Structure 1
Amino acid sequence: MEQIKKVLIALIITPLISVFLTSPSFGATDSVDVSIEVVSPYAPLGNDTLLLQGTYRNKTNTNLTNLSFQLLLSDPITSRSALNIALSSSSPEELLPRGQIYKVSDLRPGASAPFSIGINTAQLLSKGPGAYLIGYQVINGTETLGASFTVVPYLPDRSSVTQLGITLLWPVTSPPLRNGDGYLLDETIPRSTTSTGRLRNILNAGRSNSVVWLLDPDLLDLAEKAARGYFIEDSPERITGVYPNEMSTWFNELRTIVAASERWSLTYANADLASMQRNKANSAFEQSVTIARATTEQKLGFTTGGTFLFQDKYPIPESVIGLANSFGTNAIVVPDSALPPIAGTTFTPSGTTTVQTPNGRVKVFLTDSLLSNASNNTVENAVQTSLQRQRLYSDTLLIALQLPNIERNILVSPNAYWEPTSEGAAVFAEGITKAPWVKTAEAWSVLAKDVSTVQRDNFLTTTPAQNIELSADQMTRIKRGQSLLAQLTGLFEQPGVVSGDFATAILRAGSQYWQNAPSQARDFINNINSTLQTSRDNVRILAGNSVVLPSDKGPIPITIANDFPEPVIVKLTATATPSFRFKAEDLAPITIAGNSKQSLSFTGSVQGTGAVDVTLQLYTRDGTKYGEPKIISVRSAAYSTVATYITVIAFVVLIILSTISIYKRIRLSRKNVK
């Protein structure tokens, strides 16, 4: 406190007459920029001295003289919505000039000076508990030159409210920027683990606060592998990544921290399960849920609480909730706007409810939108850090004051892909969990409790939510990728010939991350499918366009090429339309050596005259259709010979009949002449 006092401007200078002025202007035309950088204590008691510190700066090209500070203060705000509106305004109507005016130093053009003002809390915030807007305006006579304000939560009697339970969900995710070969598309993710990077900031803030870790198994898989070195895709070559040490350090720290904390898995790559279910990408839906927990636990080396379906921005239909739960999700997270309390509810209920789904009733976590959305606020300097903390403290106090004697639990979470600064991540976690009227609650304990009985409207199925989902076209491409991969993996007797990264890369194409980047999502899956398509074409049928059988039955020769270095096993079928016109013998599976071609023939038979189109199709060992079919025309030479004989005989008969007819006419003519 002594150090603070040393930087005081002489604001204990002779006070002038107290006057009331018009509401302050916080616009860009202000001559003086006022910044409140410190509020201490954050949540004062009555006998505390509330200290506001900061600077004021001359924004003009002229000297500013005869300057004074005047206190701005509101009555206690007790409504959460009113507080949110006030803090979103540049000049809230609740904030009025009050108290004494203090003479301060003049400012040269561009110059700034510090200020520090301490006032007894009980005298200043005398109208009872609530959130007080407080600030200062710089005046010159009757002219306001600039102003700034913050908010201070005030609860003089801490025992007057039941502590508010807060569960802060802490997602650790990253953009799914890794292709089917396991190469990163760029350095975005590794760079985010460096000292000022996004993942580093999230890790450090979670380390220092009581949070519930929600871990993306795709990110953990990447971190474990990249810690040993990684490549960046840069066509036509690959480039060695430059941050493997940072990735290793970050991953090892994460494992150590979450080992001593509550931890859960997200679905794989934080999947857009709503779009998968709507567009019948059933395999992708199931895999995104079922492999998530096992992958997370394998990478961590220890168990988790289970799997969260984390839909933090938009609602999802009951059918998705029920299906995900049937595949193994333990908790569903949606914003409270999806299931808001019915009109007339005057308090913030606990953030749990149940939803009736086709698979039964499922418990759902509802994140508080006002608190959660505060994670989107820009926090890059001392002023923004201070205001963010005061905002969060004040909002949690107003929730506690709504039902001071009732125990409730509120769930909060930042956006899955938020990009906080170091200060932003730290102050968000601290502001949510460390207010004196807050106690943190673990997610498993909230799951075990009875849900809130408050009636809620149901907006789980909305058009805006459907519009933000990944497109049907994207899901079609994902299903195409899975089909190509299934064909390739069924070729080889030895497992692991086709990289396992392709299966998870296809799932990455279904991540919620791509919802705001549809064109990039399409390019991502197209590149994967193109690689798989090229690989699939390594095994193909080589055959002519037509075959003539010497009789109604005969050999049909073909060649199968295998450009893979490994041997493959395929089965060949031959069918025709209509099927009764062509029959072929059953062929046993064929093993084709690597980098070779194998010729073979099978017996086919044709019924009837004319050519018939025969479809040659390869299948894998497990019966999966492989590659595009080859269509050849097959006809029988036997039917051509018979037709020739018939034609000749018919011609001879015609000649004989014609000769007889001519002979008869000649005889008849001679008789008539006689």
Structure 2
Amino acid sequence: MRVRAPLLALAATALLAAGAVVPSGIALGATNSRPVDVSVDTLLPRAPLPGSMLVIGGAVANTSGSAVPGVTVRLRVGEQPLADRSALAQVADGTITSTGTIIDGSRSAAIPALAPGQSIPFTITVPVDSLRFPSPGVYQILVEAQSDPGDGNRLRVGLIRTFLPWFPDPATTPITGLVTLWPLTETTAVDADGVLLSEQIPRAVAPGGRLRFLLDAAAAHSYKVTWVIDPALVQTLDSMADGYRVRRGTTVVAGVRPDDATNWLDDLRRVTQRADVMALPYAVPDDVALVRGGLPGDVVRSITTAASDTSAVIGRTVSSTLAWPPTGWVDSATLSTLTNAAPRGIVLSERQVSANVDFTPSGAVAIPGTAGSATAVIPDDVLSELLVAPHRTAGESLLDRQRLLAELAVIGEQITDSRTVVMAPPPRWTSTSAYLTELLADIGSVPWIRPVGLATLLGGQPSSVQRTIAPYTRQQRSGELSAAYISRIREAHRSTTLVGDVIAGSAATTVPLLGALARASSAAFRVDTIAGSQIIAGVRARTSKALTGVRIISRGSVTLPGDTGIIPISISNGLDTAVTVGLVLTAVPSVRLSTAPIAPFTIPAGATTLIEVSARVSGSDPVPLEVRLTSPTGDPFGIPAQLSVGSSAYSRAAAWVVGAAFAALVVLLAINAVRRIRSSRANARQVMRGDADSTITS
């Protein structure tokens, strides 16, 4: 992380330790107390030449509780140029303590007494030749405030450091190419009906808004930057131009800023006509989360459609897309997906793709992939952080601007080969208008910086410096859109695809739904998923409603005339367009019912179709049957119908069995009766025979 150049002041206690006398009006405090705050808000010229005059202006302010007597300001310069970028960092963070050489004739007029809280401006004007720079390079400039209590013993009570590049011969000045990426994007919280879920976009393009300010800041310097435009943003603004709607709670109201959208788009078209322009992937998605969640196709689509979508709105050809993963970090699967999608370049963090060299390499490097290779765009961390640094005062702006100019000057001095580096803010960024405008003006005027378009950098030879790709970290993963959130997107995709498969000519329905899901996939919803979740829920509601008119109307029981027969199923299409569906029949248990395959069939708009399904049933009891509608590809939808299927064949068989059993019983009874009769007659004859024998004997 870059540390802002601090305001350095020597404490009164440190002065005592050095044997100095502290003026009676200054209260002694902690070691790092700052009796006088020195600020610099003017330093001209940015690129001084021999014979010119150096003007440094600013103010001294008493931050103590007591008056500071006899305050003067004078100039010091470093004795030697700063050797490298690490030396610049040491000056900025205060670890370099050298105070340089005093410049004669630079002392300002004395302020008799600087009251507590009082701030008084100063100006120092000296010939550049009086600085006596020994050689070209970047020097530290020190503005020192001193206090004189009247005894001639001046004490340092405030100090500030900044930088001044010195290249007396522009013809021999080392030049560094600079690509400045200028992303224009916003959280496109817009549902599938085109309703804005907040006023964020209208406010951003209104006078004083973030996007209005970014466009205005670079309007006069459009050739010095590469405009990187989110097609989701410009499509939204284009649709707003003729009027738009905004959701407020449970109601939808008319938007009040259509003219702001029109004006902003018109200005964008004007300033980008001859500039270097690339498209961002649609809505700048959370690439890693989508790939991890099984939606790599969404990442590819966001890239492959971006350039044409952007071209259609801004009225000029945009031929390239620049992939820009959140935070510039990717895992291997996402990098492979991005590479195969073939964007013109992929923005990756310098922290993940590092180079172990003692100079600053070019900002483009080839990355091998399964479909050839892609070019990674590696923004310089320090330059990029300076671009977006917050500024409360003109003095803070000047310090960061001088630091940035110094960084680029030192980069050019490192090796003899000319290089082009990249400066890029985060996609959703802001800064202060005056700072950006002045910085872009400086980039075009100092001799050691050459503005370069990204297309030019990517069209050249990538850097040959070997870089190491660090693994994707757990900390990076924790910032992604959650797995549950991505799962809801995936399910909404499934239902949208189903609508497209079922309904004829459904593009008018599905295209807005897919666009809404692409917007819901934006990395902008990493921080607050509420609006994204509302978009997803709206898509699910639309897809569910789209198919509610298609239903199975058959219910109850079906009896087959035998073990085989026809199951009639009626399907109603209450939609105003034809649908193509399939049917799936599931018996419980499945072994008791088999059906012939059912090919997908089309039902005209507003019609009912009867489908006759050939079936075979086993067993005497009715078989429970679930009937479901599916898409032509087999995805189920709607509420299943419950039927019961039986067979009359088993009833007739049972009747024959009962009849046969009854007949057999009758036969058995008859046989038994005959046997009884015969037995009875035999017994009678036996009795008669016995009686006869008894008579004879007697």
Normalised TM-score (structure 1): 0.84
Letter in 2 for 1:54: G
The residue aligned with 1:136 is: 144
What does 1:538-553 align with in structure 2 at a 5 Å threshold? Answer: 538-542=549-553, 544=555, 552=563, 553=565
Q: Which of 603, 608, 624 is the equivalent residue of 2:618?
A: 608
Q: For residues 654 and 480 of structure 1, do their structure 2 counterparts lie closer, same or farther at Cα, with a shift above 3 Å needed? A: farther
CA distance in 1, matches of 2:29, 2:327: 34
Q: For residues 626 and 244 of structure 1, do their structure 2 counterparts lie closer, same or farther at Cα, with a shift above 3 Å needed? A: farther
**How big is the shift at 1:568?**
3.9
What does 1:599-638 align with in structure 2 at a 5 Å threshold? Answer: 600=610, 602-603=612-613, 605-609=615-619, 610-620=621-631, 623=633, 625=635, 627-628=637-638, 630-638=640-648
Alignment deviations for residues 493-540 of structure 1 (CA, whole Å, 9 cap, x no partner): 345542632211111122232334456544543443344334444544
Letter in 2 for 1:313: T
The residue aligned with 2:511 is: 500
**How big is the shift at 1:248?**
0.3
**How big is the shift at 1:215?**
1.3
Q: 1:277·1:320 contact (CA, 8 Å) conserved in 2?
A: yes
CA distance in 2, matches of 1:263, 1:355: 23
The residue aligned with 1:106 is: 113
The residue aligned with 2:85 is: 80
The residue aligned with 1:356 is: 368
Q: Which runs of 5+ in 2 are unaligned?
A: 1-17, 22-27, 681-698
Q: For residues 361 and 56 of structure 1, do their structure 2 counterparts lie closer, same or farther at Cα, with a shift above 3 Å needed? A: same
Q: Which of 29, 40, 43 is the equivalent residue of 1:39?
A: 43
Moved more, 622-631 or 328-337: 622-631
**How big is the shift at 1:314?**
2.3
Letter in 1 for 2:595: K
**How big is the shift at 1:125?**
6.0
Q: Give the total of aligned pairs.
A: 642
Q: For residues 431 and 496 of structure 1, do their structure 2 counterparts lie closer, same or farther at Cα, with a shift above 3 Å needed? A: same
CA distance in 2, matches of 1:417, 1:407: 31
**Whose radius of gyration is greater, 1 or 2?**
2
Question: Is structure 2 residue 401 aligned with structure 1 residue 394?
Answer: no
**How big is the shift at 1:147?**
4.1
Letter in 2 for 1:511: S
Q: For residues 77 and 274 of structure 1, do their structure 2 counterparts lie closer, same or farther at Cα, with a shift above 3 Å needed? A: same
What does 1:140-151 align with in structure 2 at a 5 Å threshold? Answer: 145-151=157-163
Letter in 1 for 2:414: Q
CA distance in 2, matches of 1:382, 1:519: 38
Sequence identity of aligned pairs in percent? 21
Q: Which of 94, 97, 110 is the equivalent residue of 1:94?
A: 97
Give the RMSD, CA atoms, in angstroms.
3.8
Q: 1:193·1:200 contact (CA, 8 Å) conserved in 2?
A: yes
Alignment deviations for residues 12-59 of structure 1 (CA, whole Å, 9 cap, x no partner): xxxxxxx9979x999995344332111111232343332221222334
Q: For residues 266 and 80 of structure 1, do their structure 2 counterparts lie closer, same or farther at Cα, with a shift above 3 Å needed? A: same
Alignment deviations for residues 298-321 of structure 1 (CA, whole Å, 9 cap, x no partner): 112221131111237323245544
Letter in 2 for 1:638: S
SS across alignment from 2:322: strand
Q: For residues 528 and 36 of structure 1, do their structure 2 counterparts lie closer, same or farther at Cα, with a shift above 3 Å needed? A: farther
Q: Which of 126, 140, 156 is the equivalent residue of 2:133?
A: 126
Q: 1:574·1:584 contact (CA, 8 Å) conserved in 2?
A: no
The residue aligned with 2:276 is: 262
Q: 1:573·1:618 contact (CA, 8 Å) conserved in 2?
A: yes
**How big is the shift at 1:588?**
6.6
Q: 1:582·1:612 contact (CA, 8 Å) conserved in 2?
A: no
Letter in 1 for 2:251: E
Q: For residues 357 and 587 of structure 1, do their structure 2 counterparts lie closer, same or farther at Cα, with a shift above 3 Å needed? A: closer
SS across alignment from 1:149: strand
Alignment deviations for residues 423-452 of structure 1 (CA, whole Å, 9 cap, x no partner): 243245445554320112222322232222
What does 1:330-409 align with in structure 2 at a 5 Å threshold? Answer: 330-342=344-356, 345-403=357-415, 405-409=416-420
Q: For residues 226 and 380 of structure 1, do their structure 2 counterparts lie closer, same or farther at Cα, with a shift above 3 Å needed? A: farther
Question: Is structure 2 residue 521 aligned with structure 1 residue 510?
Answer: yes
SS across alignment from 2:504: coil
Q: For residues 448 and 109 of structure 1, do their structure 2 counterparts lie closer, same or farther at Cα, with a shift above 3 Å needed? A: closer
Alignment deviations for residues 76-117 of structure 1 (CA, whole Å, 9 cap, x no partner): 323213323432x3x443353763765324234433221111
The residue aligned with 1:226 is: 240
Q: 1:196·1:421 contact (CA, 8 Å) conserved in 2?
A: no
Q: 2:34·2:158 contact (CA, 8 Å) conserved in 1?
A: yes
Q: For residues 603 and 125 of structure 1, do their structure 2 counterparts lie closer, same or farther at Cα, with a shift above 3 Å needed? A: same
CA distance in 2, matches of 1:140, 1:481: 75
Q: Which of 576, 580, 584 is the equivalent residue of 2:586?
A: 576
Q: Which of 258, 261, 267 is the equivalent residue of 1:247?
A: 261
Give structure 1 regions of 4+ aligned residues with deviation exceeding 6 angstroms. 19-22, 24-28, 649-660
**How big is the shift at 1:183?**
1.1
Alignment deviations for residues 459-513 of structure 1 (CA, whole Å, 9 cap, x no partner): 2644444443333333322222222222223444345542632211111122232
What does 1:463-478 align with in structure 2 at a 5 Å threshold? Answer: 463-478=474-489
CA distance in 2, matches of 1:27, 1:385: 27
Question: Is structure 2 residue 91 aligned with structure 1 residue 65?
Answer: no
Q: 2:286·2:326 contact (CA, 8 Å) conserved in 1?
A: no
Q: For residues 28 and 489 of structure 1, do their structure 2 counterparts lie closer, same or farther at Cα, with a shift above 3 Å needed? A: farther
Letter in 1 for 2:292: R
Moved more, 639-648 or 108-117: 639-648
The residue aligned with 1:327 is: 341
What does 1:283-322 align with in structure 2 at a 5 Å threshold? Answer: 283-311=297-325, 313-317=327-331, 319-322=333-336
Q: For residues 601 and 320 of structure 1, do their structure 2 counterparts lie closer, same or farther at Cα, with a shift above 3 Å needed? A: closer
CA distance in 2, matches of 1:92, 1:473: 47
Normalised TM-score (structure 2): 0.81
CA distance in 2, matches of 1:646, 1:61: 118
The residue aligned with 2:197 is: 185
Q: For residues 651 and 84 of structure 1, do their structure 2 counterparts lie closer, same or farther at Cα, with a shift above 3 Å needed? A: farther
The residue aligned with 2:424 is: 413
CA distance in 2, matches of 1:541, 1:95: 87
Q: Which runs of 5+ in 1 are unaligned?
A: 1-18
**How big is the shift at 1:258?**
0.9
Q: For residues 492 and 312 of structure 1, do their structure 2 counterparts lie closer, same or farther at Cα, with a shift above 3 Å needed? A: closer
Q: For residues 423 and 380 of structure 1, do their structure 2 counterparts lie closer, same or farther at Cα, with a shift above 3 Å needed? A: farther
**How big is the shift at 1:385?**
2.0
CA distance in 1, matches of 2:432, 2:609: 64
**How big is the shift at 1:118?**
2.1
Letter in 1 for 2:48: P
Question: Is structure 2 residue 291 aligned with structure 1 residue 277?
Answer: yes
Q: 1:551·1:636 contact (CA, 8 Å) conserved in 2?
A: no
Q: 1:73·1:95 contact (CA, 8 Å) conserved in 2?
A: no
Q: 1:485·1:502 contact (CA, 8 Å) conserved in 2?
A: yes
CA distance in 2, matches of 1:319, 1:289: 16
Moved more, 68-77 or 146-155: 68-77
CA distance in 2, matches of 1:598, 1:587: 17
SS across alignment from 2:447: coil
Q: 1:168·1:432 contact (CA, 8 Å) conserved in 2?
A: no
CA distance in 2, matches of 1:378, 1:301: 34
Alignment deviations for residues 607-637 of structure 1 (CA, whole Å, 9 cap, x no partner): 11244443423244x5463524515242304
Q: 1:20·1:98 contact (CA, 8 Å) conserved in 2?
A: no
Q: For residues 319 and 159 of structure 1, do their structure 2 counterparts lie closer, same or farther at Cα, with a shift above 3 Å needed? A: farther
CA distance in 2, matches of 1:416, 1:605: 61
Q: For residues 352 and 20 of structure 1, do their structure 2 counterparts lie closer, same or farther at Cα, with a shift above 3 Å needed? A: farther
CA distance in 1, matches of 2:660, 2:32: 105
